[in-house]
Structure 1
């Protein structure tokens, strides 16, 4: 029953949700490629450009928790569709930017419209999968993150080369072409996505009942449904926030600056797109392997901390070498170490709370943590403006990755010391029945 049910749910949900996330990630990070022609045309400094890019994350942080709470009330299908259609429209309209101020406004609006999508999907998946399946499932979903770069960067490079075609600049083609798919998929979401297992007509009645019973057993008594903001008072939540903020800071610092770094190798925009896909192919492999290894060994914190430490070391080494090939190889290791642990992170953090408080906890972690997507590129931009040296700013990524690994280790000590309980799994359902209880390592 379990294998058959989980396989069916995965086949019906994961490809579609991953496609939505792929489009979302391209739409929030396309500004890194737009920078190649947009910055000079609008006359923006490095710090001004990344201040504008970061307005997305400020809006995201403000509206994330309210968006996730509305998702619980409105329903995932309608709320995801609203998010996608509105962010697609804003992305297309960004091609109308003509000044620093209008750039700030459109990036802020993109954050407002997209707020709640990623944590909403994470929360939505917790309504389908018991705890023991989540690290692998989150890994498959977040797999769309590096894939969006691996597939999207070559496309963005081609779009950038359309500079002047039909009277549009290359950056305008980027926003036009990447916004339209979100609108189309938003309409499809209304038709395709079920609200939850109880509404999934493609599940047999006994399968729907099995999912309900498993999740009810793991949740235990539901004392939290009338206090959705309780997670904001939890110290454990804020340790996860700090952890995620540093991971995001490093990830977006790398993704926003990667096209500029590779363009500095002396290649065309199209070749830049192809070369910048390589680190994210490596990150996709890490996202596939790390969660499986963590589940197999029942050890999660070191599967996050060690890759982050290795990423920091590799990124630091990349700044000390001159060879483009070696530098790209080291950045590939860094990308794998920064993005690979994210599925494990969400598997752990999603177990902190149940019910509507889970929506609030996940949204809090994601919204505040995503401020790293603004702080990282902005800090790098200020340093580059001050030193006129790109490499000096990229040390921010090194520090964030190393510090992130240290925070993971500290979080492990705190969580294990205060014994965060994980609901035991019946012997018949455990992958390793010899274990007397399932615990977070």
Structure 2
């Protein structure tokens, strides 16, 4: 009964949510490939380009907690559909960028539109899967991240090579072609995705009852009237924010700069697309193996810390070698070590709070942590502008990965301090 139920839920939810996430990630990271032609067309410096690219994350941080709270009220089906349709339309509109200011504005609007999708899915999945399954399930969902690079980078490289076709620049082709699928998937979400197990027509009454009973046994009642923002006062939450910040600095620093690094190998646009997909094939393998190993062994902390430390060392080593083959191999190790532990991180952080407070907690960790997607590339861009060497800025990625690995020690101490305080109910609220 248990295994069959979990398999049914996994088959029904994870492929569709993973496809949404894959398109979302292509739409937020396509700017790395657009950089190859957009920067010269608009005359942007490295720092100015990454300031614009980072406006996405500023908006994301501002709107993510409110987005998750709205999701809890209106349901995942309608809210995820709204998110996908709006981010797709804004991605297409980005092809009309004409100067630095418009680039900033459209990237900010894209972040506001997409805010809440990733943490919303993490929270949504906690309503379907008991704790013992979450690292693996989050791993399957986040698996879409490296797949988006492995499949998307060759596509983006090819689109960039269309520079001049039909009077459009390569970066315009990128934004137009990658924005349309999000709109179509948003419409499909309205027809396909159930809000809760109780609304899933493909589950039997017994399966729905088992899921609800199991989650209630683990977490207690999942509906309360406590202040949803109260977890933001907890030091535990902000420690996880700091930890995730390091992960994001490393991950986005790598994704934004990898096409530029590989272009220095002296290859064409299409070859850049295929070569930059190699590190993410390795990351996909890590996302498959690490969460399963962590759940099977019942040990999660060193499954986060050791890969991150190895990633930091590998990234640093890649900056000291001259061979393009060896450099790409070391960056592949770094990509695996940075992305592989992320589902384990979310499995641990999702145990801090339950109910609507979990929605706010997950969103806060992801929103503030995702500022690293702006700070990391921006800092790298500023260093590259001042030194004239791409390699000098990439030390930030190595340092962030190493710090993330070291932070596991603090995570180990804090994660067991699970919230046990009874929710504070509003006056007159039935208990």
Structure-2-length-normalised TM-score:
0.96
Cα distance per residue 1:232-285 (max 9 Å; x no partner): 011111111001000000000000000000000000000000000000000000
**Structure 2 equivalent of residue 353 of structure 1:** 353
Conservation of the 8 A alpha-carbon contact between 1:225 and 1:357: no
**Structure 1: runs of 5+ lacking an equivalent:** 424-441
Deviation, 1:227, is: 1.1
Asked if 1:60 corresponds to 2:60, the answer is: yes
Conservation of the 8 A alpha-carbon contact between 1:34 and 1:171: yes
**Structure 2 equivalent of residue 160 of structure 1:** 160
Conservation of the 8 A alpha-carbon contact between 1:160 and 1:174: yes
Cα distance per residue 1:379-423 (max 9 Å; x no partner): 0000000001110011010110011111122221344xxx43599
Deviation, 1:224, is: 5.1
Conservation of the 8 A alpha-carbon contact between 1:156 and 1:174: yes
**Structure 1 equivalent of residue 26 of structure 2:** 26
User: Aligned ranges for residues 140-179 of structure 1 at < 5 Å?
Assistant: 140-179=140-179
CA RMSD, 1 decimal:
1.1
**Structure 1 equivalent of residue 184 of structure 2:** 184
Deviation, 1:145, is: 0.3
**Cα separation, 1, equivalents of 2:175 and 2:222:** 45
**Structure 2 equivalent of residue 291 of structure 1:** 291
Conservation of the 8 A alpha-carbon contact between 1:224 and 1:354: no
Structure-1-length-normalised TM-score:
0.94
User: Aligned ranges for residues 359-398 of structure 1 at < 5 Å?
Assistant: 359-398=359-398
Conservation of the 8 A alpha-carbon contact between 2:64 and 2:116: yes
**Cα separation, 2, equivalents of 1:53 and 1:399:** 22
SS of aligned partner of 2:351: coil
Cα distance per residue 1:150-171 (max 9 Å; x no partner): 0000000000000000010000
**Cα separation, 2, equivalents of 1:110 and 1:58:** 10
Deviation, 1:288, is: 0.3
**Cα separation, 1, equivalents of 2:360 and 2:372:** 19
Q: 1:420 pairs with 417, 421, 424, which one?
A: 417
**Cα separation, 1, equivalents of 2:196 and 2:395:** 44
Poorly superposed stretches of 4+, deviation over 3 Å: 221-225
Deviation, 1:226, is: 2.1
The count of residues paired between Structure 1 and Structure 2 equals 420
**Cα separation, 1, equivalents of 2:24 and 2:343:** 17
Residues 316, 322 of structure 1: CA spacing in aligned structure 2 closer, same or farther, 3 A cutoff? same
**Structure 2 equivalent of residue 35 of structure 1:** 35
Cα distance per residue 1:160-185 (max 9 Å; x no partner): 00000001000000000000000000
**Structure 2 equivalent of residue 256 of structure 1:** 256
User: Aligned ranges for residues 104-253 of structure 1 at < 5 Å?
Assistant: 104-221=104-221, 225-253=225-253
**Cα separation, 1, equivalents of 2:281 and 2:189:** 28
